[in-house]
Structure 1
Amino acid sequence: MRTVVFLLLIITSPASFASMLVLGDSLSAGYGIEQDRGWVNLMRERLKNSGYTLEVVNASVSGETTSGGLSRLPGLLETHQPSLVLIELGANDGLRGTPLEIVRANLQQLVELSQSAGAKVLMIGNRLPPNYGPQYTQAFFGLFEEVAQQKQTALVPFLLDGVASDWDLMQDDGYHPRAEAQPKILDTVWSNLEPLLAP
């Protein structure tokens, strides 16, 4: 009796993700600049040019808080079923002086919901202006690393690293980066994102 063996070779693209969800605030929504020049859109273009075929869903909303993101995330996960979630929230909580235990709990739930849906998570941290006092600002900055370590997620420590300190790259309000800063922001995110894209 002759046995015939078929060998099936499946050639895939570099990406193993169907979609990526960006859940952020005005820093990811492209506040004050043309939408196509924001770092999320630049990331979409870089992914395409690098051979990744995943869809990028930018669900960022200006003024969004961790509580607001938490209320929207279940529906976004159900609709888009992302394999990777970028969480860039917390800055507006900090600017409003939200108690840190609330911010921490919300960030933890955002990560848990994403992971429970089968997605990898990239936590994106931020800093507050120094006028909020060293005790609060330092503890706030430390929240992101704390949650990332606890939940074993990848981490971008500071989204505006090298940008927030350069006034030529910031808009007049001092909070939002100009279009010229967006490629630098993307580079900051990309160095932590790229390892997650490996098949």
Structure 2
Amino acid sequence: MAESVGAAESDAMLSRLLMAMVITVSLLLASAAASAAADSTNAGPRVLVLGDSLSAAYNMPTEAGWVALLRERLGEHASVINAAISGDTTAGARARLGQTLDTHKPDVVIIALGGNDGLRGIALATFRDNLDAMITAARQAGADVLLAGVRLPANYGSAFIERFLGVYKEVANTRDVAFVPRLLDGVATNPTLMQDDGIHPNAQAQPVILNNLWPALEPLVHSAQTGQ
């Protein structure tokens, strides 16, 4: 009898845990959808951001994130749709991309993904294929693409880190897309710009991140505005 009660309690606890996980994921997706819809009414080009926590204003007010700062910089001249989801991978973004493109019909797509692929040890070939497939889908939808690379923490070893970064470079060169090799250039190595976990940039880092992207992004937005 005691074993039956214990098993029942264990099953109940597992059910509650699974339900909590489902609710958490649902809330994250709902939050991303709300953010994506937050700025879809401005005239001009539509810029879609595909990213993870580095682009989702993790652990800070949404308006402090670099995507919100980009929205402010562009003003009424363009719409910025933030489809970034904390914890996302290239596989997750790829699976949703068709619907995302159909919904938002972007002129420019920023792909700022890969950190979670590296942290989870996703095979580099799979990582490469996912990036390539997203670029293909975005272009078929009529959008220009900006690819942003993410450097892994030092404890992953210099050899793997360089191979990982090499995937971004290879894809960018092969597909001839605008490329920012390191999204967190000047940030990841500066403790004053990082949160306590050493992985996520803080609010003070967000303008730096935007400035890292801007030289490659601005020509794409301008081209979409002028139709050239």
TM-score (normalised: structure 2): 0.77
Structure with the bigger RCO (C-alpha within 8 Å, sep 6+) is 1
Alignment correspondent of 2:194: 170
Alignment correspondent of 1:154: 178
Distance 1:60 1:164 in 2: 19
Which one has a larger percent helix, Structure 1 or Structure 2? 2
Structure 2 contact 150–184 (Cα < 8 Å) conserved: yes
Amino acid at match of 1:38: G
Structure 1 contact 17–84 (Cα < 8 Å) conserved: no
Structure 2 contact 146–178 (Cα < 8 Å) conserved: yes
Structure 2 contact 45–221 (Cα < 8 Å) conserved: no
Distance 1:178 1:91 in 2: 17
Alignment correspondent of 1:34: 61
- Cα deviations by residue, 1:50-86 (Å, 9 ceiling, x for unpaired): xx52211000000000000001110010011101000
Distance 2:82 2:216 in 1: 18
Distance 1:155 1:45 in 2: 22
- Superposed structure 1 runs of 4+ greater than 6 Å apart: none
Q: What SS does the aligned partner of 1:28 have?
A: coil
Residue 79 of structure 2 is aligned to residue 55 of structure 1:
yes
* Structure 1 portions without partners, runs of 5+: 1-15
Alignment correspondent of 2:209: 185
Offset of residue 17 of structure 1:
4.7
Residue 52 of structure 2 is aligned to residue 25 of structure 1:
yes
Q: What SS does the aligned partner of 1:163 have?
A: coil
TM-score (normalised: structure 1): 0.88
Distance 2:129 2:112 in 1: 15
Alignment correspondent of 2:16: none
- Cα deviations by residue, 1:112-154 (Å, 9 ceiling, x for unpaired): 0000111000001110112112221111011111111111110
Residue 135 of structure 2, aligned match among 93, 96, 111: 111
Deviates more, 1:126-135 or 1:146-155: 126-135
Cα pair distance change 1:83/1:17, threshold 3 Å: farther
Q: What SS does the aligned partner of 2:48 have?
A: strand
Q: How many residues align?
A: 182
Residue 123 of structure 1, aligned match among 147, 171, 182: 147
Residue 95 of structure 2 is aligned to residue 68 of structure 1:
no
Question: Percent identity over the alignment?
Answer: 50
Structure 2 contact 172–179 (Cα < 8 Å) conserved: yes
Alignment correspondent of 1:45: 72
